[in-house]
Amino acid sequence: VMALVPCNPELGDPQGKPSWVMDLKEYFNRIGFTGQNAKADLESLFTIHRLHVMSIAFENLSLHSGEKTSMDLNIIYDKIVKKGRGGWCLENNLLFSWVLKEMGYKSTILSSKVFNSQEQAFLPKDTHLINLVEVDDKQYIADVSFGESCQIWYPLELISDKEQPQPPGVFRLLSNGETWTLQKTGRKQHVLNEGFANCSFIDKQLTKQIYCFTMTPRTTEHFLEAEEHLQTSPDSLFVLKSICSMHMPTGFKVLVGWTYTEVTFEKDSDLVDIRNVPDCEIESVLREKFNMQLENKFTPKNNKGHYVF
């Protein structure tokens, strides 16, 4: 369906592809995975899923740095693995699909429609890419790139109406026979800075729908139109706002425009620490908090548009 590695550089390449080969061990080093000879079992799947979420940011900074995203796996690998960047779902989950296959897992790309909480409806387009993985005759949804509070740390077993608790909250998958819906019940968010108590980013809804999907296998071509829409449409959230988020063992951190937030998961609530970042500190926040250095000039953006984390 898609070329997973560049052609042999010794043969030359008229299409200008890179002179390196995608290397699973290099990806393992990127996420800090030490099980270089790991088996394609459930334990390894859970481990690499969590490490990816903890090591690679969900971000759309390319759109605000004069760049475009791509669904060419070689370009994605170069960006995320070699250059230390993150990406959005179409990049991160496509890379993860390659990782799964290289490790020997039986996996399939699926598409999903994200729930718009403002419209109280699922978006009409398939804009989110996820992976279906089969291990020991059971199926799991792997998704390393939804970001913020709805990001799963571990794959979810594909079983209807089963509560699957994880540090960000309790997730559940619901099936009506053809369509599956992912839901999450979280904790109340407690804002530490009084000046941000009414910040529009704060999600007051504890139980929410995240996205829906069917079991129809997809190829990268299925997402090309959505990819173009997400990075060019004036009403696209990713065009309106620059977003960079990453999970950590205690919670997650996110930079939206000039607003930096750290969320700490507690037993009964999430502690939310919000502050504004001046232009002169944006670069250091990206470097120190997300271990990321951009090649091109980055212009933060936070235009009007419904967004909660």
d(CA 14, CA 23): 22
pLDDT band at 51 (very low <50, low <70, confident <90, very high): very high
Domains of the chain: 18-290 (3.30.2140.20)
pLDDT of residue 19 exceeding 80, the answer is: no
150 has catalytic annotation? no
Instruction: Give me the chain's average pLDDT, please.
Output: 93
229 has catalytic annotation? no
Q: How far is CA 66 from CA 19, 62, 146, 298, in A?
A: 25, 7, 23, 8
Query: CA torsion sign, 153 to 154 to 160 to 165?
Result: negative
Q: Is-contact 103 40, C-beta < 8 A? A: yes
* Of 143, 212, 244, 247, catalytic: 143
* Of 128, 150, 203, 270, catalytic: 128
89 has catalytic annotation? yes
Tokens of 19: 């002179």
Q: What is the pLDDT of residue 11?
A: 33
Q: How far is CA 215 from CA 42, 139, 220, in A?
A: 21, 11, 16
H or E element in which residue 75 lies: helix 73-77
* Of 49, 64, 89, 150, catalytic: 89
Q: pLDDT (tens digit, 9 = 90+) per residue, 131-142?
A: 999 999 999 999
